[in-house]
Amino acid sequence: DVKVTQSSRYLVKRTGEKVFLECVQDMDHENMFWYRQDPGLGLRLIYFSYDVKMKEKGDIPEGYSVSREKKERFSLILESASTNQTSMYLCASSLGQANSPLHFGNGTRLTVT
Amino acid sequence: GESVGLHLPTLSVQEGDNSIINCAYSNSASDYFIWYKQESGKGPQFIIDIRSNMDKRQGQRVTVLLNKTVKHLSLQIAATQPGDSAVYFCAERTDGNKLVFGAGTILRVKS
């Protein structure tokens, strides 16, 4: 089974802090994604990556950046956390071929106070 | 714009009955659709997918139906069990590997 591991289940940070969310997958998937999930809004794509050192903006990239230095690891960075970034963050990965389903981690619930 | 919506935010069914969860999509160019199940405290779990050149696909106790004419997707769960209680999301692939998700439907199974 594909395993997507997010390093933290819960995080509490203060406004203005720099926050790193880490994600690792063990199936040699080419594609990796970061979503945020908010009640009533579903999952919204923040950033994604097709390959090492490559990144593409999703639908809501403002206030975020990403890093993919190794194929198995995709990091989401909040340069200066704000309260409106309090959310559930979900990492996912998939094979590079078309029509491959995403496999998700269990999420990191971030609270910014 | 592109969007994926759900008709019913909450569905309650009796254990053993069949469940049908509906989803409307707006982008006629979408060519791939997926259903996910999300249990409390967990990430979304892949259930079943279907390509736009098909109108029906069956899995274990689940069937996905695609009606491209009316841009409608449904997930049917046979003999619903308490373990099926979760939030169900449909998603459409509109551009490369990007998925657009609906807001979700809560399925509650009554014993």
Question: A42 vs B89: CB contact, 8 Å cut-off?
Answer: yes
How do residues B31-59 score in pLDDT, each as one tens digit? 999 999 999 889 999 999 999 999 999 99
- The model's pLDDT over A42-61, given as tens digits with 9 standing for 90+, comes to 899 999 999 999 999 999 99
Task: Check A99 against B101: CB less than 8 A apart.
Answer: no
Residue from A99, A103, A109 whose CB has the most chain B CBs within 10 Å, to mutate = A99
Alpha-carbon gap: B1 to the closest alpha carbon of chain A (Å)? 12
C-alpha distances out from residue B22 to A36, B38, B44, B59, B110, Å: 23, 16, 18, 17, 20
| pLDDT, average across residues A52-77 | 96
Query: Cβ B98–A94 below 8 Å, yes or no?
Result: no
Q: Around Cβ A56, how many Cβ atoms within 10 Å?
A: 15
Work out whether strand B86-95 and strand B105-110 pair parallel, antiparallel, or are unpaired: antiparallel
